[in-house]
Amino acid sequence: MSETRWLTADERRAWVRFAAVVELLPGVLDTQLARDENLTHFDYFTLAMLSEAPARTLRMTTLAAQTNSTLPRLSRVVSRLEADGYVERTQCAEDRRATNVTLTAAGWKKVVRAAPGHVSTVRYYVVDALTPAQITQLSRICERLLARLDPNGRMFAPAGEV
């Protein structure tokens, strides 16, 4: 058995700060979206992924991959969004075993209404806190981390995509 490679002081400092960002940022995003649009960040992310899809429609399995969600979690969220009139589920014409989720006109309006506040929050807490060079570094750092966390590229932004 190999000996543990403990973190150096610099590595530990970087890790603790990164862990704090990972813990704090979701709450900030949820708070803004809940206050302004009665949505969670995951609700918004789900609607946003649909808004960018061809015909604003995705298979549940594809939507789960793009939102890094399990099917049971996504199904619960889609049920709630469907009850609110923001999405609808239909049987997939190409594969009758699959279910499609489509963003409704009300869902499109909700995304359009929510986007400016969400972008302002992301800009304030992340983008505007960094220089353009740091944004490039952050993108490269995330790409490297995702290569290990998501080696099969399940997330919507695999390495090399803009």
Measured CA to CA, the distance from residue 112 to residue 106 in angstroms comes to 10
Contact 42, 109 (CB under 8 A): no
Strand order in the sheet with 57-59: 57-59, 99-103, 87-91
Ordered per-residue pLDDT tens for the chain, 162 residues: 789 999 999 999 999 999 999 999 999 999 999 999 999 999 999 999 999 999 999 999 999 989 989 999 999 999 999 999 999 999 988 888 889 999 999 999 999 999 999 999 999 999 999 999 999 999 999 999 989 988 887 765 443 443
Give the contacts of 154 (CB within 8 A, at least 6 positions apart).
65, 68
CA-wise closest residue to 100 among 57, 156, 47, 70:
57
Measured CA to CA, the distance from residue 146 to residue 35 in angstroms comes to 31
Domain range summary for the chain, segments of one domain joined by +: 9-149
User: What architecture is domain 9-149?
Assistant: Orthogonal Bundle (1.10)
